[in-house]
C-alpha cells in the first residue's frame, strides 16, 4: 500500500484508476485507502510545485525575487515540553515555510521566505529572536535552488545526438 502514497507524493493529480493500473491493486481499494488516509491526516494535502523565480521572470519581470533563508535556532529547552512549544509558535508565522528539530549544534532549522533581505532580517530580529528561550540564530540565505522536494530546478541539457534514419 505504500506504493500508492509514493505515487501520490510524486504526482498529486494521479487518479485512482491510473494508480490501480500502475500497482495492480484494484481501483476500489485504491480509492478506499486514499479516503482513509485523507481522513486520518496521513495525506495532508495535494499541491503543485511551482518555480516562482521562473514565473516572476516570465510574467512579472519587474517584481523583486522572493528571498528564501534557512535559519538555525539555538534554544534553552523547557521541562516537560523540550523544544515543542517554541517550534509550534515559530511555525505559526506566515513567513515560515518549515520548521525541523535537528541534531547538531543548533536545535531548530526553519525555512523562511520574504520579499527582501531586509524583510527576512527584520523577521529574525523582531519576531524570532524575541521569543523566550531563543538563545541564538544563524541565517543562511539561499542563492540558487537546484532541487527542492525531489524536483529539479535546472534545465536539462539539450540532446545533441544526431537523428538516426532507418
Q: Are 66 and 52 spatial neighbours (Cβ–Cβ below 8 Å)?
A: yes
The ranges assigned to domains in the chain are: 2-40, 65-144
> Model confidence over 48-77: pLDDT tens digits?
877 777 777 788 777 667 899 999 999 998
Topology at the third CATH level for domain 65-144: Alpha-Beta Plaits (3.30.70)
Residue 86 has pLDDT above 90, yes or no: yes
Instruction: Report how far residue 69's alpha carbon sits from residue 71's, in angstroms, rounded to the nearest whole number.
Output: 6
Cα atoms in the Cβ-side hemisphere of radius 13 Å centred on 153: 13
pTM comes to: 0.69
CA-to-CA dists, residue 111 to 51, 95, 122, angstroms: 16, 8, 15
* Residue 156 confidence class, pLDDT cut points 50, 70, 90: confident
Instruction: Report how far residue 100's alpha carbon sits from residue 74's, in angstroms, rounded to the nearest whole number.
Output: 12
Task: Compute the mean pLDDT over every residue in the chain, rounded to the nearest whole number.
Answer: 89
> Model confidence over 115-140: pLDDT tens digits?
889 999 999 999 999 999 999 999 99
Amino acid at each position: 500500500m505504500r506504493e500508492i502514497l509514493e505515487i501520490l507524493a510524486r504526482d498529486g493529480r494521479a487518479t485512482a484508476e491510473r494508480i490501480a493500473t500502475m500497482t495492480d491493486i484494484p481501483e476500489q481499494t485504491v480509492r478506499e485507502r486514499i479516503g482513509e488516509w485523507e481522513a486520518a491526516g496521513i495525506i495532508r494535502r495535494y499541491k503543485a510545485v511551482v518555480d516562482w523565480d521562473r514565473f516572476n521572470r516570465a510574467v512579472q519581470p519587474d517584481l523583486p525575487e522572493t528571498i528564501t533563508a534557512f535559519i538555525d535556532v539555538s534554544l534553552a529547552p523547557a521541562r516537560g515540553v523540550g523544544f515543542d512549544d517554541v517550534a509550534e509558535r515559530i511555525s505559526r508565522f506566515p513567513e515560515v515555510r518549515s520548521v525541523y528539530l535537528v541534531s547538531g549544534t543548533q536545535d531548530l532549522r526553519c525555512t523562511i521566505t520574504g520579499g527582501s533581505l531586509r524583510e527576512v532580517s527584520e523577521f529574525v530580529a523582531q519576531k524570532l529572536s524575541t521569543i523566550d528561550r531563543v538563545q541564538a540564530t544563524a541565517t543562511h540565505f539561499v542563492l540558487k535552488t537546484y532541487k527542492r522536494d525531489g524536483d529539479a530546478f535546472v534545465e536539462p541539457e539539450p540532446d545533441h545526438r544526431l537523428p538516426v534514419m532507418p
